[in-house]
Amino acid sequence: MRLLLQKVSQACVRVDQKIVGEIDQGYLLFLGVLGGDCQEQAQQLAEKVVKLRLFPGEDGKMNDRSLLDVDGDILVVSQFTLAGKFDKGNRPDYTQAMEPQAAQDLYTYFVEQLQTQGVRHVATGVFGAYMQVSLINDGPVTLQLER
Supply the residues annotated as catalytic.
79-81
Residue 89 backbone phi and psi in degrees, to 5: 65, -160
Question: Which residue from 62, 75, 105, 65 is spatially nearest to 3, judged by alpha carbons?
Answer: 75
- Dist. CA 81–CA 130, nearest whole Å: 12
Whether 126 and 20 have beta carbons less than 8 Å apart is answered as: yes
